Each structure stands twice: as C-alpha cells, then as structure tokens.
Amino acid sequence: MLALEKIGSFFVGGRRVRVSGKTKRTVAYSSNVVTEYDPNGSFLIEQAYVQYFLPHEHRFRTPVLLVHGGGLTGVQWENTPDGRPGWLSHLLDARIAVYVIDNVERGRAGWCAIEGEWPDLPVVRSDEEAARFYRFGFPGNQFPLDRMDQLSAQTVPRWPSTYPLQVAALDAAVDRIGSAILIGFSQGGGLSFIVADRRRDGVKACIGLEPHGLPTAYAPDMPGTPALMVLGDYIAEDDYWRDMARLGRDSMDAWTAAGGRAEVWDLPALGQRGNTHMMMMDRNSDILCGMLIEWLDRHHRAGDFD
Amino acid sequence: MLALEKIGSFFVGGRRVRVSGKTKRTVAYSSNVVTEYDPNGSFLIEQAYVQYFLPHEHRFRTPVLLVHGGGLTGVQWENTPDGRPGWLSHLLDARIAVYVIDNVERGRAGWCAIEGEWPDLPVVRSDEEAARFYRFGFPGNQFPLDRMDQLSAQTVPRWPSTYPLQVAALDAAVDRIGSAILIGFSQGGGLSFIVADRRRDGVKACIGLEPHGLPTAYAPDMPGTPALMVLGDYIAEDDYWRDMARLGRDSMDAWTAAGGRAEVWDLPALGQRGNTHMMMMDRNSDILCGMLIEWLDRHHRAGDFD
C-alpha cells in the first residue's frame, strides 16, 4: 500500500506572446460544432509541467525531481514497457517525495503551435534511431524488445532550439520546490547538472543517468554537493557512447575540482550487465533503483541533505 | 492521507507509419551533442495515454475514467488554477479508482510531427477566446480570473481532424479498463457519450459536463444505463451555449428513448450559481464534485454498477 499525503501538479515558467493580423478560419470541432477560429490573441508558451507525489511518512525530507530525456516525458518513470512498476512507484514505496517534470514542449507542458515563434523544426526519433541510439542491438541487452511499442508510444517530438528554455524551466522548478535531489536522464541529465551548478542552495545531490550535454566546467566553491553519473553496458563497444562517457567523466572530474564530490558508476563493473541507455525500463530496473536509493540513504546519513 | 494500492500508466491504440525518402539534416541537441538526424523510419502515432490511481479500499469497484476537454489534457482534473486540490484528489479521497486519459495528440499522448499525416492545421485557444467560450465575462462567475495564467499554461494545441481517432482511443481505453464510469468535459463529454453507446457492457454510467458533439440518437435496447448532463450558469444569456444546451437536452432525451435513464442538472436551479464552463476549476468545485459523488453513490446503491 502507498500512503501518500497528497498528489498534485503545477506549472512553472512560460512567457506571454500576442498574435495579431492572422486570418480567421472555419473549424469543425465535431459533427455538430463548427465555429470560426481566431488564431489571434494572447497565449502563454514555454512553461513546464510538474506532477508531484508526497508520501505520508518520509524516508528523508528532501524530494527527488525526476528529469526525463529528450523526446520523452515524465511517463518514462512510470510503468516499464513490460508493465512492471517503474522508478516513480519504487521511490514512493521507499517513502521518498517525488516531483516529475514534463519540460518545455514535452507532454503535458504543451508546445507552441504559433508559427515563427521557434526557429527550427521539431525532430522525432524513429524506432530504428531509438534502437541504435539506446544500444538495443547488443546481445544480452536487458531492454524488453518485444514491448518496443510501449517505448514508441511515449516518444514525443522535440525542438532542439528549446534547450535554453528547458534549462530555465528546470531552474524555475527547483526554485519553486525549494530544495531537491535531481535525477536526470540523457538530455535531462545534462540539464540537471547545469541547474545544479546554478542553484547550489536548492540542489542537494545530482544524479545523471548516461547524461548528455554536461558542462565542461563548474563555478568554484561548490559546497561538497554529491553527484553520481551512471553508465550502462556496451559503452566501450559503441563509438558514440564511448565519446559521451569520456565527456561525462571529464565533467565529473570538473565537478569534484569545483568543490563537489562526484562518483561514476560503471554498471557492468558493479555486476549489472546488459543495461541499455533506457536503464529505468530494462529488466533489472528494480535492482538499479534500489542501488540509487542506497546511494541516497548513504548521503542522507552523512548529512548531505535532510 | 491517501491510501493507494498503486499508481501507473499505459498507452492504448495507435498505428505504425513508415517514412522514407526524406533528407537527413544536422541537429544540435545541446552545446556538445551535434548529430545527423534521420527523419525516415518507423513511428507509432495516434495512441492515447492513461494514468491511473487505484485506492487501497474501494467506495465502489467500478473506476471513473476522466475525459478532458478539447485543447486540454488530464491536467484539468488536478489542482485548480487557484491551487486547491482538484477533482482527481477528491475522487481518490472518496476511495474511488480513477483513470485519467490524455487523448490522441494531447499532453503525454504525444502528437504526430510527420508532415502530411494529418490533413489540417492545429488550433490553439487564445486567452481571449477562452474567456469568451468559457463564459468568464459574466459578473459573479466563480472562475478564479486572477489565476487565468494557470489555465493558459495547461491549454495545448489540437487538431480538429483527430476527432474519430479520439473516439477510437477512448473506446480502446474502456476496453482495456474493462468497465468504467465516464466523466467527460466539453469535447470529452461528447466523446464519452459516443463511446458509452458503443461499449454498453463496459460503460456503467456516463456524465457529461457541458458536453460538446453529443450524438443526436442512440442505438435501441440500452440496458438502463444512467446518464447525467451538468450545465453551469449564464447558459440562457449566451447564444452559443443556449444552442449547446438545447442539443444536449435533445441528446439526453434520445438516451432515455433508447432505454437509458438520463438526467439533466441545471446548476443554478440546484443552488449553485456562477459556474463557468470550467466548473472543475471554479471556486465551488469541491461542492460540485461532492454532488457528483452523491449521484454515483445513489446509482451504486441502486445496483447500476459494482
């Protein structure tokens, strides 16, 4: 049983735009609702959505903020493609407060359909690109390939140009929550470390799951903030991921040089083999979440956060 | 305290499309991730997302499926714009199992960015159109106008042409859940009555909150299924809504003529004044949700559902 104090959601960030001079058109919303649509007026764009789940009793006070990857939404923390409970459920079972962001233009954050506001075109990941990029081709990998459709279903379009907006919205989310442990995946991992560097009072620990777009340097005098980078299997066998892992290790060194305490987990070296990029969906996802909770417990006991 | 058995989510519906012959392009995903993007390949589109919250103890067994309005997502059932708990929380507090859909191309369902797949352009509702359409202009209305930004934030683009896809996805959701009480708002109200007519074993009761796009006739031999249409204030003072209410009453009469049992609530006549179209966000939203739970209790006691 899950004993929660409350669930809810809020939006952060966004800016108002005013559209004028566009032509009205007739739109049929259903068989008997046909009205004139006016594309002019005032709109809010570039906000992010945050859904939260607050437990009745706390393992520790500081909540976790889960930051999805590019082309994905907060759904990636819910049930795994093969229908098992996801990390969101496991964290709640462990009595940890969880906030889940749908960042700018992903999922429930909505996106900007106003022509000309964003300079580029959206991109969307095909199953073939996903299989390649997520390292599903290696024998023995733990992703449930027979349920690939459930990963396709949660894949959404993305605009590469919104990266700075996503940084700003994540920053605003941390500001609103007050203090948090960031767990960011892929693009969300890079965003998490950028925001952790900016919001030193707010971010008490930062975990990057095969993070992308990490800073190469951090401002000095970081107050010993713990950080963790988690790498799955087959990294050495994949040119692209070998480069990403090297950039990641350099970034973790820079974090420590700035006054933080960064650690890198090479999952195969820790006995967890077969992990793809989508480690929260892999067959051993429960074990991995348990390892992360242990890491958090250790830092909580050490007084790194309340 | 909220005692839940589990939370989770799944996707229903969708179809696979194959894109070929499009030109690759270079995309910068962040400052240090620049790769070639291939828009070709296999994609899943037109699926719907369903998030669920199952209580530990049940008021009654049959779950409620909440169906959002056009240009909105499942967020509309979460916190009200002025930050109070929304109907989702109230239903869970009442120990009712709740499923929340984000229908095709809304919110976490994702949308189709593949050029040429959908024939029309998306529309998005401006604040000005929202204020007019939602009846925010009448003195004494109960919408928290000072928090209009929170309604703007949850407003998303929509494609009018996806209406049949939304019917199909809601149908698939009911099929997957097994049996459910539908509570649909605006566009989601019309969708709910269409699907209730099709899935007579599955839909045990159907509630439309100022529903749009209702059927004008239902197939005969409906097994006494209870239905309710809820209308807010200022209907008689607004040409558009007067027409919608008339169509709604005709549809409820047709429901009863087909063998169902339909009821219409005129909220001002029941002592609830000032309700806008966004009744689940209005200041008296708690009272309205309580009235709906009472209606459900009555039909549960009468044996209309388990």
- ipTM, two decimals, is 0.97
Contacts of A92 in chain B (CB under 8 A): 7
Q: Which two tokens stand for residue A249?
A: 């290790």
CB A226 within 8 A of CB A245: no
Cα radius of gyration rounded to whole Å, chain B = 20
Nearest-CA neighbor of A89 among A173, A202, A172, A7?
A: A7
| CB atoms closer than 10 angstroms to residue A60 | 20
Interface test with B, best of A36, A126, A280 (most B CBs within 10 A): A126
CB A118 within 8 A of CB A64: no
Cβ–Cβ of B152/A4 closer than 8 Å?
A: no
- Search chain B and give the residue with CA nearest A157: B113
Cβ–Cβ of A111/B43 closer than 8 Å?
A: no
Q: With a cut of 50, list the residues of chain A below it in pLDDT.
A: none
3 state DSSP class of A7 = strand
Distance, CA of B146 to chain centre:
24
Of A9, A14, A39, the CB nearest to B79: A9
Task: Supply the pLDDT for residue B170.
Answer: 98
3 state DSSP class of A78 = coil
Task: Supply the pLDDT for residue A195.
Answer: 98
Contacts of A8 in chain B (CB under 8 A): 78-79, 85-86, 89
Q: With a cut of 70, list the residues of chain B below it in pLDDT.
A: none
Interface test with A, best of B7, B72, B193 (most A CBs within 10 A): B7
Q: What is the DSSP string of chain B?
A: -EEEEEEEEEEEEEEEEEE-SPPPEEEEEETTEEEEE---EEEEEEEEEEEEEEESS-SSSSPEEEE--TT--GGGGSS-TTS---HHHHHHHTT--EEEEE-TTSGGG----STTSSSS--B---HHHHHHHTTTTSTT--S-GGGHHHHHHT---B-GGGHHHHHHHHHHHHHHH-SEEEEEETHHHHHHHHHHHH-TTTEEEEEEES-SS--S---S-----EEEEEE-SSSTT-HHHHHHHHHHHHHHHHHHHTT-EEEEEEGGGGT-----S-TTTSTTHHHHHHHHHHHHHHHHHTTS--
Distance from B133 to chain A by nearest Cα, in Å? 11
Cβ–Cβ of B11/A153 closer than 8 Å?
A: yes
3 state DSSP class of A294 = helix
pLDDT, tens digit (0-9, with 9 covering 90-100), for B228-258:
999 999 999 999 999 999 999 999 999 999 9
Task: Supply the pLDDT for residue B253.
Answer: 98
Interface test with B, best of A1, A7, A104, A115 (most B CBs within 10 A): A7
Size of interface A-B (CB pairs under 8 A): 226
Interface test with A, best of B92, B121, B152, B166 (most A CBs within 10 A): B152
Contacts of B4 in chain A (CB under 8 A): 1-4
Cβ–Cβ of B28/A160 closer than 8 Å?
A: yes
For B98, what's the count of Cα atoms within 13 Å in the CB-facing half-sphere? 23
Interface test with B, best of A11, A16, A23, A30 (most B CBs within 10 A): A30
Cβ–Cβ of B126/A153 closer than 8 Å?
A: no
Task: Supply the pLDDT for residue A172.
Answer: 98
Of B37, B89, B163, the CB nearest to A7: B89
Distance from B31 to chain A by nearest Cα, in Å? 6
Of A11, A78, A156, the CB nearest to B8: A78
Can you tell me the distance from the alpha carbon of B34 to that of B15, in angstroms, rounded to the nearest whole number? 30
CB B142 within 8 A of CB B275: yes
Cβ–Cβ of A29/B126 closer than 8 Å?
A: no
CB A303 within 8 A of CB A104: no
- Search chain A and give the residue with CA nearest B156: A110
| Angstrom distances, CA of residue B11 to CA of A155, A276, B44 | 11, 22, 11
Q: Which two tokens stand for residue B242?
A: 């007067």
Contacts of B111 in chain A (CB under 8 A): 111, 156-157
Residue type, position A144, single letter? P
Cβ–Cβ of A27/B160 closer than 8 Å?
A: yes
Task: Supply the pLDDT for residue A30.
Answer: 75
Contacts of A30 in chain B (CB under 8 A): 163, 187, 190, 212-213
Task: Supply the pLDDT for residue B28.
Answer: 86
Cβ–Cβ of B6/A2 closer than 8 Å?
A: yes
Task: Supply the pLDDT for residue B119.
Answer: 87
Task: Supply the pLDDT for residue A176.
Answer: 98
